[in-house]
Every structure is written in structure tokens, then in C-alpha cells.
Structure 1
Amino acid sequence: MTEILMPRLSDTMEEGVISSWQKQPGDEVAIGDVIVDIETDKAVMEYEAYEAGVLEKILVAEGETAAIGAPIAVIAPKGAAAPSAPAPAPAPEAKPEPAVPPAATPATPPAATPVPATPATTAPPAAVPAQNGSAGAPVSRPPSSPLARRLARDHGLDLTTITGTGPGGRIVRADIEAAIRDVPAAAPAPAAPAAAPAKTVMPQVDEDTEAVPLNRFRKVAARRLTESKRNAPHFYLTRDVDAEALVAFRATLNEALAPVKISVNDLIVKACATALREHPEINVSFTEENLLFHKRVHVGVAVAVDGGLLVPVIRDTDRKGVAEIGAETRALAAKARDGKLGANEMSGGTFSVSNLGMFGIDSFSAVINPPESAILAVGAVRDEPVVRDGQIVPGKRMSVTASFDHRAIDGATGAKFLARLVELLEQPLLIVA
């Protein structure tokens, strides 16, 4: 038998929600069949079978959450499905501790027995050799999900003091949340002063206020943007672009390529890719030990969706024509709004473009999308008087603001890149040259 484990479907995913099961227990499964739809922090994605057999058992019901790597179902070989189906059924139902059999199916029965002994009230030193000996790993802490470990670390909890309720005694988010709730009860005196300021800053929820739980997009965006602003020292450079030639060039292209439509944003994305190719010092990522220079240019395009923001990535943007960039951007934006973007379509970006011009915004500053080191914020093309040859005449202007990570990019370096970008936008023939 083979366990299906909750996969990592995006670079920011820590857990997934079972949206719907496409196969039911007893159904035959062929390689490539869609077994289940999984909702991640970014989209709903289909999970395909990697081996054939019969879906013997579903371990996580629709609507329930599982951490990455947690078993969600069991597939048995076709011939063995009928006799083996009843055998595992009684084990999980005898709730005490034989909830371990799902984890023990890959031929590790001896390891299952010591695991329940870990949360027992015996001294922690006794638990350490038991776990090391059973799992053969150097880690002495009990099995736990990535999300549970992060929550425990954030709240200063010791995992060895927490009893896991997940498969095989695994500590999951619910166990950590229960432990957090128990902390004030164990130490009421210090908890009282700590709770007082929290009440003063939190808005009161009453009949005039509706509390709407954060969706996955908002939770991930809040965490990643907070990390970006906290860890990356942002600095901003703004330039006004004479957009007269850009708008006229776009009209010429649309007339020549009809029925294909090119947007101003398509030209901006292509111009950014061209400028990045000429200024590789902007196409970088910062790490504590190295500055990573990316040899390929992958531009992310921010797309607003219901309840959040997604950034699908146009790969090798500098090697593609404007029409190809436009078609790919529209296709990815449609998939983003339908919640059908794949993990590979949202990862690997080296630079991003965020355009709020269609909403009438003149200018703004965008937050860098880590691990990238720069992002361009684009405002609306606006009509305003300009001076040409000493005369005031009607003109078009567009404001662009670049946000840079000062750990990776210096002010003069960013200024040179932005100057070249403005030159390309003001002489759009250079974009397609």
C-alpha cells in the first residue's frame, strides 16, 4: 500500500485544505488521474496519481486541513485492495494509540510502538533515545508539522511537552493552539497584565462590527509583505515618463496586429525585461552569504483576484515579443482569477511589475516580492500640459516608482536602471528592436 501525502504545491505553502475528492474509496486509479483538488494559500490545484491501484481509504475529509507531508489517503494495488481494505479499518477506529498504522504501513511497525511513549510523563531524556533509535534520525524532538514547529517557536513552546494527536503521534497545529490556550491557565498572574494592553488596542466586536476570517491569500500576503518590509530596507526612486510616443506606438501595433491587442502594460513589462538584461545587477536576490545573479529574466505581473493578489510569472520575458507577452499575461491572469494557477506559474520571478493605472492611481510605491530585490509600480497615463521647444502644449505623462532592496542594490545602480527604463518607454521602438 502507498500513502498519498499532502504535497507542497507552492513555495509559500505550509498546509493545504482538501477542496474535493475526485475519487472515492474503492475507485480504480490510473497514473495521471486526478484524485483530489487541494486548496493552497494561492489557488485550488489538482493532484494527480503517480501510480495505479485502488483508492483504499481517505484519511482527510473534504474541508479539513493537513500539513505538508501528512497522509491524506491510501492507495492499494488492484489485486490486494479487496482483502486489505477491512484490515486497516479497525486500527484507526480503535482510537487509543493504534492511530499509528497509517504511518506504519511502509514497513516500520517497530517504530510505531515507541512514539506514544514520547508524550508520556516520563523524563525527556528517556524520550530522546527512544525517538533517535526508532526513527534513525538525529532529531530528538517528536514528529511535528512545519506549521506546528513555527507556531511553537513563535510562542516559546517546547515540543517535547506537547502530546500529538496527528497520525503516528505527530504534533499538528491544533495541538499547538490548544497548548497556547492552556498557557494563561497555568500562569494566571503574569497573563493578566499582558492581556490588558491587548484589549485596549484591539477593536471591539459587537453588533455593529462583522468579523470576517482571513482567507489564505490574505494570510500569506500579510506574512510575506511584513517579512519583506521588516527584512529588506526599501528605498524608492520615481521618474515621470513622457508617454506620448508610448501611447502612439501601442495604437500603431494594435492596428497592425489586429485582432491581437497590446496593452501599455505589455510594453512596460517588455521594457523592464530589456532593461534587466542590460543591467543584470538589478536581476538579483540577496542572501546572508551571497548575492545571487540570475542569468534568466522572469518578470512577475501582479494580478488582483477576489480576496487577494497573485503574481504569475512570465518566464524568459526578455526573449519574448510584445504580442507573446500580452497573450501569456492575459492567459495567466484568467487562470489566477479562476484559481487555477499552478505552483510553477507563480514561482521563480526575478522582478515584478505592479500597475494600478487602470484604477486612476497617479503614483504609488510597491512592496518588494521576496526573494526578488526590486519591483516597479506604474501609475496612470494622464493628460497634462508639457513644455516642448519652449511652448506649452498638450502632453501625456506617466509616473513610475521603483522599489529596491538596499542590501542588494545601491542608489546609483537603481537610478541607472530606472533611467534606461524611462529611455526605452519614451523611445518604444527600442523595446522591440
Structure 2
Amino acid sequence: MPTEILMPALSPTMEEGTLAKWLVKEGDTVSSGDLLAEIETDKATMEFEAVDEGVVGKILVPEGTEGVKVNTAIAVLLEDGESADDIGSAPASKAAPKSEDAAPKEEAAPAAAPASTPAPKGDGDRVFASPLARRIAKDKGLDLSAINGSGPHGRIVKADVENAKPGAAAAPAAASAPAKAAVPAAAPAGPSTDAILKMYEGREFEEIKLDGMRKTIAARLTEAKQTIPHFYLRRDIQLDALLKFRGQLNKQLEGRGVKLSVNDFIIKACALALQSVPDANSVWAGDRTLKLKPSDVAVAVAIEGGLFTPVLKDAEMKSLSALSAEMKDLATRARDRKLAPHEYQGGSFAISNLGMFGIDNFDAVINPPHGAILAVGAGVKKPVVGADGELAVATVMSVTLSVDHRVIDGALGAQLLEAIKSNLENPMVMLA
């Protein structure tokens, strides 16, 4: 029986994507692991691999199609002995959306492989399995009807047969997750689109279509401000010792082609502070918090049309030069939208630096499930009162720590910010 190839969920947050390019054509024979298509998600363009073998019988969604919902059938794969005439007997397909209004309302599938389900039977109790799976089952003397399939629609694929034991009975289907409690519909955030368009009738304007990234940013930030109880802690940090130390280090590193930025020191300072105040190195996980051991620090990178937050993992263990090189690589690939999901997901803490754009101070929105985010302003010359009581001039940087009160209380947040300040005002301790 023909098998549908479904639009994959290439990240936990993906609900729809753009089928950017087909790497196969109708009539091509494909095997497990072969590249089928390039899928553009809200964050990156990724390659989609086949999980089964067969012949591409029909491409249902042409390349360049936007807004293809996860789990929508995008092509049909034929088994040995099947032809395009058999496609009419394939399971009912979810047609590719022709417009936003026509798009099926369907939840995104998780990025992880779905739980296996008992192999479905067709007419005459036929078990759905790939040709390769059938051959392996025959060689191993296995009963396909006793094997759970993890492929599309519960189809048995190679891995299912290889992992099965001779004579093993089919495992019971995984219990379905309990239904989520109904959430009351949120009150409208403002006038409807039609009302706004009417409001601006007669005025010259350009409509700019929202891409997947902008839609995701809007949804996540709205969720963050509506559901996370933010509070804010502010400190001024004197940078003169750090700027002098940075100049000395960069002079010594010239021969290696390394040039450290102030942001590199901020990343290191935050990573070490999370180790000094381990209770603050936590994330909100719905009905519990997760206290992380490593300092996985996310850093906001502005790109055309949106924002990425690549994560520097184990940042407390890395040298300043290693952090600098990794951050440059991540930022470059972020701007090219070439980051893999594991490179911009996770972490417990984030940094957003608008000081390089001349912003003195601001409040950043927490990126869930992070426990906090540090908003970094510009370093500017200001009059300060020295320890001896005399007036002096210093380079002062204003920072604001946005904190999730469900994870971090006020005193704990203050300890974390004090540790960050101490590291930046005494930069040599970061090399100890």
C-alpha cells in the first residue's frame, strides 16, 4: 500500500514550514537516510531524510509552498510492485494548504520520534511494512503482525524489525498523554486586522507579510509577558579595569588573530556567576524547576527580520578566546540561518546586548524556559564618587536582570547580579 511522506517537525516549536526545495523527483528510488527535501522552519533551512525505502510515486506539495502544516502529506512513496495507479488507495491525505484560511488546524508533532504503535492492518489483515523490513523479518523468522511500527501511520520500518526479538509479542500501544486542561481564550489584544485596515483607509502604506520567524517571535514574546511573572534588578558596573585588561590581552593575542570583545567578557562573567550562585542556574518546567549543573548561556543575535539566541554550552569551562571564536561562528551562521535546533535551544540564562547600538539601558523579555536574561547597555563616561569620597570619571555600563519570579526570588537574583558585577569589575579573577 502506498505510504505518505509527512511534513516533519524539525524542532519542538515547529508547527508549519516552507517546502523550500525537493531533492528528489517522481520516479526516483530512495532508501532510508537519503535526502528528500530542504525544509525552511521559522529559524533555519534543514535537510529532511527518508526513513523508509521505495519509489517516489507522487509529489503532493510543490517546492516553494509556504505554510505547510506539520504532519501534512507532502509526497507518496510506493513499495515494490506498486504503481502510481495504487495511490488512490493510499490513506486519506491532509492536502497542502492553499491559503492560511484553508490550512488545517493541527498540533505540531514533537521533534523526537513518535511512540511506536501496533502495525496497522489493511484489507485482508495485511500488515503495513516496508519491503526492506519484510525481507529482514523473513530472514529472522519474525511475525510482522507481532511488531510495533514506528514509521508513518504505524508502518513497520527497518529499525523496528532489527530491534524485535524472535517470537516477541507485540507490546501494548503507548498510553496516550492525558488531555491538557482547557485554557480560556485570551482576550483580544487590540482591534482586529479588518478594523485596523479600515482605520487606515485612504492612507498610503505597504503590507509586509509575516514570515515564520516573526510569527514565532510574536507568539513566544506574548506568551512570555502573559505567563512569566517578571521582576527587574538594575546595577551600574564600572568597566575601566576590564577595558584596560582587555587591551592588554588583545595585544598579546594579536599573533593568533584573536580579538576579544566586551561581550566575550560578559558571557564569561555570567557563566561563572551561575556557578557561584547555583540555585539561580535554573529553568521553569511547568510543575517543577530544573537546576542545571553546567552554565549554558544563550546570547541574542539580531538578524534580518528577527532574532536568534544561540547557546554557548559549558561556558564556564571555556577560555575567553574559545568563547570569542565560538560566538563569532554561531553569530555568522545565525545570520545565514544555518543553525541547527540544538544550537539555539536550551540554556538557563540569556544575554541581550544593545549597548553596541548606543542604548543606555532597557528591560529584556525572558525567553522561556530560561530563568533570567541580562539586558546590557552601553558603557559611557560618567561622574562617580570614588572610595575616598572624591569625584572622578569612570566608564559605567548599566545592566538590568529580568528574572522569572517562579524560579528565582529577589534575594537570589540580587546575589546573581552581584556575582556578575564582581566578575566584570575584577576581570583577572575570570582567568583563575
Shared fold, TM over 0.5 = yes
* 3-state SS of paired residue (1:385): strand
User: What is the CA-CA distance between 1:421 and the residue it aligns to?
Assistant: 0.7
Q: Which amino acid counterpart does residue 284 of structure 2 have in structure 1?
A: F
Change in Cα spacing, 1:273 to 1:203, as seen in structure 2 (3 Å) is farther
Q: Is residue 405 of structure 2 the alignment partner of residue 406 of structure 1?
A: yes
* Counterpart residue number, 1:213: 209
* Counterpart residue number, 1:67: 69
Greater Cα shift, 418-427 or 29-38: 29-38
| Matches of 2:412 and 2:238, distance apart in 1 | 22
TM-score (norm. length: structure 1): 0.73
Residue 356 of structure 1: which of 336, 354, 357 is its match? 354
* Counterpart residue number, 1:38: 39
| Matches of 2:295 and 2:338, distance apart in 1 | 24
Q: Per residue, is there more helix in 1 or in 2?
A: 1
* Counterpart residue number, 1:227: 223
TM-score (norm. length: structure 2): 0.73
Q: Which amino acid counterpart does residue 72 of structure 1 have in structure 2?
A: I
* 3-state SS of paired residue (2:375): strand
1:285-319 per-residue CA deviation (whole Å, 9 max, x = no partner) reads: 22443222122221111010111111111111112
User: What is the CA-CA distance between 1:33 and the residue it aligns to?
Assistant: 3.7
User: What is the CA-CA distance between 1:351 and the residue it aligns to?
Assistant: 0.7
* Counterpart residue number, 1:392: 391
| Matches of 1:85 and 1:205, distance apart in 2 | 55
| Matches of 2:193 and 2:73, distance apart in 1 | 41
* 3-state SS of paired residue (2:279): coil
* Counterpart residue number, 1:164: none
* Counterpart residue number, 1:247: 243
Greater Cα shift, 241-250 or 67-76: 67-76
* 3-state SS of paired residue (2:406): coil
| Matches of 1:26 and 1:107, distance apart in 2 | 26
Q: Is residue 324 of structure 2 the alignment partner of residue 326 of structure 1?
A: yes
Gaps of 5+ in 1: 93-97, 112-135, 140-148, 156-193
Q: Is residue 367 of structure 2 the alignment partner of residue 366 of structure 1?
A: no
Q: Is residue 282 of structure 2 the alignment partner of residue 281 of structure 1?
A: no
Count how many residue pairs are aligned between Structure 1 and Structure 2.
352
User: What is the CA-CA distance between 1:54 and the residue it aligns to?
Assistant: 3.8
1:367-386 per-residue CA deviation (whole Å, 9 max, x = no partner) reads: 00001110000011112233
Gaps of 5+ in 2: 96-118, 125-172
1:265-301 per-residue CA deviation (whole Å, 9 max, x = no partner) reads: 1110111010001112211122443222122221111
Change in Cα spacing, 1:10 to 1:205, as seen in structure 2 (3 Å) is farther
* Counterpart residue number, 1:19: 20
Contact 1:205-1:211 at 8 Å conserved across structures = no
User: What is the CA-CA distance between 1:410 and the residue it aligns to?
Assistant: 1.0
User: What is the CA-CA distance between 1:426 and the residue it aligns to?
Assistant: 0.2
User: What is the CA-CA distance between 1:251 and the residue it aligns to?
Assistant: 1.5
Residue 256 of structure 1: which of 207, 227, 252 is its match? 252
* 3-state SS of paired residue (1:401): strand
User: What is the CA-CA distance between 1:262 and the residue it aligns to?
Assistant: 1.2
Greater Cα shift, 233-242 or 13-22: 13-22
Q: Which amino acid counterpart does residue 334 of structure 1 have in structure 2?
A: T
| Matches of 1:71 and 1:153, distance apart in 2 | 31
Change in Cα spacing, 1:58 to 1:413, as seen in structure 2 (3 Å) is same
Q: Is residue 1 of structure 2 the alignment partner of residue 5 of structure 1?
A: no
Change in Cα spacing, 1:205 to 1:43, as seen in structure 2 (3 Å) is farther
Q: Which amino acid counterpart does residue 385 of structure 2 have in structure 1?
A: V
| Matches of 1:50 and 1:297, distance apart in 2 | 35
User: What is the CA-CA distance between 1:137 and the residue it aligns to?
Assistant: 9.7
* Counterpart residue number, 1:163: none
| Matches of 1:27 and 1:255, distance apart in 2 | 58
Q: Is residue 58 of structure 2 the alignment partner of residue 57 of structure 1?
A: yes
Residue 338 of structure 1: which of 329, 336, 339 is its match? 336
Change in Cα spacing, 1:195 to 1:262, as seen in structure 2 (3 Å) is closer
| Matches of 1:432 and 1:107, distance apart in 2 | 60
Change in Cα spacing, 1:2 to 1:197, as seen in structure 2 (3 Å) is closer
Q: Which amino acid counterpart does residue 374 of structure 2 have in structure 1?
A: L
Q: Which amino acid counterpart does residue 58 of structure 2 have in structure 1?
A: K
* Counterpart residue number, 2:374: 376
Contact 2:366-2:373 at 8 Å conserved across structures = yes
| Matches of 1:39 and 1:327, distance apart in 2 | 27
Residue 315 of structure 1: which of 313, 317, 330 is its match? 313
* 3-state SS of paired residue (2:85): coil
Contact 2:58-2:84 at 8 Å conserved across structures = no
User: What is the CA-CA distance between 1:30 and the residue it aligns to?
Assistant: 5.0
Change in Cα spacing, 1:212 to 1:100, as seen in structure 2 (3 Å) is closer
Contact 1:233-1:405 at 8 Å conserved across structures = yes
Q: Which amino acid counterpart does residue 370 of structure 2 have in structure 1?
A: E
| Matches of 1:351 and 1:70, distance apart in 2 | 35
Q: Which amino acid counterpart does residue 73 of structure 1 have in structure 2?
A: A
* 3-state SS of paired residue (2:12): coil
User: What is the CA-CA distance between 1:202 and the residue it aligns to?
Assistant: 6.9
Q: Which amino acid counterpart does residue 207 of structure 2 have in structure 1?
A: A
| Matches of 2:423 and 2:277, distance apart in 1 | 13
1:109-165 per-residue CA deviation (whole Å, 9 max, x = no partner) reads: 469xxxxxxxxxxxxxxxxxxxxxxxx9998xxxxxxxxx99x9959xxxxxxxxxx
* 3-state SS of paired residue (1:87): helix
Contact 1:91-1:101 at 8 Å conserved across structures = no
User: What is the CA-CA distance between 1:429 and the residue it aligns to?
Assistant: 1.0
| Matches of 2:77 and 2:64, distance apart in 1 | 21
Change in Cα spacing, 1:252 to 1:137, as seen in structure 2 (3 Å) is closer
1:183-233 per-residue CA deviation (whole Å, 9 max, x = no partner) reads: xxxxxxxxxxx9999737974254512221212111111111111111111
| Matches of 2:346 and 2:193, distance apart in 1 | 42
Contact 1:88-1:101 at 8 Å conserved across structures = no
* 3-state SS of paired residue (1:69): coil
